[in-house]
Structure 1
């Protein structure tokens, strides 16, 4: 099911005081406010519906778009998104809506509530379809609310909506969630512009390499394999002792503790698999024992980057790490 509405009226009247001031010259030229509903939270989960509200540079609504998507598997938590196997059986596959979706994302900053999740799911779907998502920057409305120091009891979407008096009609319906977020983002954007606040923009690294798990019987269009909404997998412990920190310009040594932060062009789990196969320990956080942090965006200000700087942990990008993986030194003999 596809819905495309162009030339939509503004969601509510623009505040005249903001228009009277000079708009910050470094702000983006347009935004794509996005929400996706999914079969779950794991690497191989799929999108079941997607919605986009396109806004211009000053937050005025240009149009909106919505579609359901056949995930080619069990739809997961139907009690949350309400989309059953029967409803999705005749929905288009992601590859069939990828071009329309891309047209609405192109040359815009992707805006979402907990944007890393929406971006991760979108980039994975494009990688599966053999395409690259046309997104170069994202903005998380949670991060923006924190930057503006909004008096919210928590950082749920409903709390942000209530702060601005936005009424939610169908929670966890992608189109309504995108509408609510667009209505809440617009005044936040104007406050940021009025105060000259630097927007919390993060770079997006589109996936260029993806490897699917073996497909299960019944995974073709209209058939759904009995899959569950499962947590991320656990890897066996690294069999080698930690030899210490990586020395810039040197080689990796089996047993080194490697952490990752931010987007990677190779699917994160695939990149971690390669590190484990080389005899490295993949760490989920950064500590004084971490040998190396891999990130493509060292200026992102994430907690991992901040800890790496505080501990003096070496930081390299994905390309350099991939080169180092080709020749990892064996663990020292005891």
Structure 2
């Protein structure tokens, strides 16, 4: 484990008290794919390793890209089901911030597995190490785990093995965390909301059989979003509060699943817009220089822009509509 020299006395009091560094290997990247293995490193408040854990998981379907994770149907056949390891995993995650590289993916896979098992993951916040490396301005050629590992001199022994990937990330996270603490950097923490609307698709393919893509599943049933009941009060004023009725547009990838993020905005009384116009109050994007049509129009119209983390903070204190 790499050493750092940030004294505990200099640690920001607002930082979390513990972390669970997680990596999962899966049958694929779609919403219906399953976890085949999981690795967890438990870290204390300063990022020091307390314990680690690893398990195989029987996905109850074809294992998917064996050439990536190396786990065949034969290897996974006698592995425990997710519901059978969920208690142990929960004990490893409880009261900790989930840390992962591209945390939106690992969290969404875990949330879906917990939903299938009719349980709720004991995770309230997550931290993506890609987002943290951006906050720190690390000079990385790209945002792959191997690049982050190389930057901190961490040796990767078994790429795409859940336990080794979690180890590598834990070793790279500790100096990242220390650098953030030393520089007073705000950690890019995001809320984790459990998924509760899972319905099993018909004829889910079992392990050893080829998957069938004949019918869709439903995590969150397709529905028309209700109209915003409040008039648009105008543009968001940087440094101020969001106001109910403001028109919010999103552009690019988000760490939180887009539909969940839009749900939160709608529940707060905001108008989620599918396009950007002169009436748009605010654009939410993690990449304002991406050159998408929305970011280009935002620059043309002078529409305020914030990133996802800042938007999450603004959602916690939305002002009521005038006269509402």
Do Structure 1 and Structure 2 share a fold, with TM-score over 0.5? yes
Q: CA contact under 8 A between 1:135 and 1:204: conserved in structure 2?
A: yes
Asked if residue 31 in structure 1 is aligned to residue 31 in structure 2, the reply is no
Pick aligned residue for 1:287 from 265, 276, 292: 276
Q: Distance in 2 between matches of 1:42 and 1:290?
A: 35
Matches within 5 A, 1:110-129: 110-129=98-117
Corresponding residue for 1:226? 211
Q: CA contact under 8 A between 1:287 and 1:311: conserved in structure 2?
A: no
Corresponding residue for 2:64? 76
Q: Distance in 2 between matches of 1:263 and 1:292?
A: 21
Determine helix, strand or coil for the equivalent of 2:38. strand
Q: Closer, same or farther in 2 for the Cα pair 1:247/1:160, shift >3 Å? A: same
Q: Offset of 1:209 from its aligned partner?
A: 1.9
Corresponding residue for 1:332? none
Asked if residue 131 in structure 1 is aligned to residue 119 in structure 2, the reply is yes
Q: Closer, same or farther in 2 for the Cα pair 1:70/1:195, shift >3 Å? A: same
Q: Closer, same or farther in 2 for the Cα pair 1:75/1:288, shift >3 Å? A: farther
Pick aligned residue for 1:169 from 150, 153, 157: 157
Q: CA contact under 8 A between 1:36 and 1:51: conserved in structure 2?
A: yes
Q: CA contact under 8 A between 2:280 and 2:303: conserved in structure 1?
A: no
Matches within 5 A, 1:163-242: 163-216=151-204, 219=206, 223-227=208-212
Corresponding residue for 1:92? 80
Corresponding residue for 1:64? 52
Q: Offset of 1:302 from its aligned partner?
A: 4.7
Q: Closer, same or farther in 2 for the Cα pair 1:56/1:311, shift >3 Å? A: closer
Pick aligned residue for 1:248 from 220, 230, 243: 230
Corresponding residue for 1:105? 93
Q: Offset of 1:21 from its aligned partner?
A: 4.7
Q: Distance in 1 between matches of 2:194 and 2:31?
A: 15
Q: Closer, same or farther in 2 for the Cα pair 1:180/1:225, shift >3 Å? A: same
Q: Offset of 1:115 from its aligned partner?
A: 0.4
Q: CA contact under 8 A between 1:246 and 1:291: conserved in structure 2?
A: no
Deviations 1:152-177 (A, max 9, x none): 11111000000000000010010010
Q: Closer, same or farther in 2 for the Cα pair 1:287/1:99, shift >3 Å? A: same
Deviations 1:290-330 (A, max 9, x none): 9999xxxx9x97569997x9379xx998xxxxxxxxxxxxx
Q: Closer, same or farther in 2 for the Cα pair 1:185/1:211, shift >3 Å? A: same
Q: Distance in 1 between matches of 2:183 and 2:155?
A: 26
Corresponding residue for 2:131? 143
TM-score, normalised via structure 1 length? 0.68
Determine helix, strand or coil for the equivalent of 1:48. strand
TM-score, normalised via structure 2 length? 0.70
Q: Which runs of 5+ in 2 are unaligned?
A: 233-247, 264-271, 289-293, 306-311, 316-324
Corresponding residue for 1:51? 39
Q: CA contact under 8 A between 1:258 and 1:290: conserved in structure 2?
A: no
Q: Offset of 1:287 from its aligned partner?
A: 2.8
Asked if residue 310 in structure 1 is aligned to residue 303 in structure 2, the reply is yes
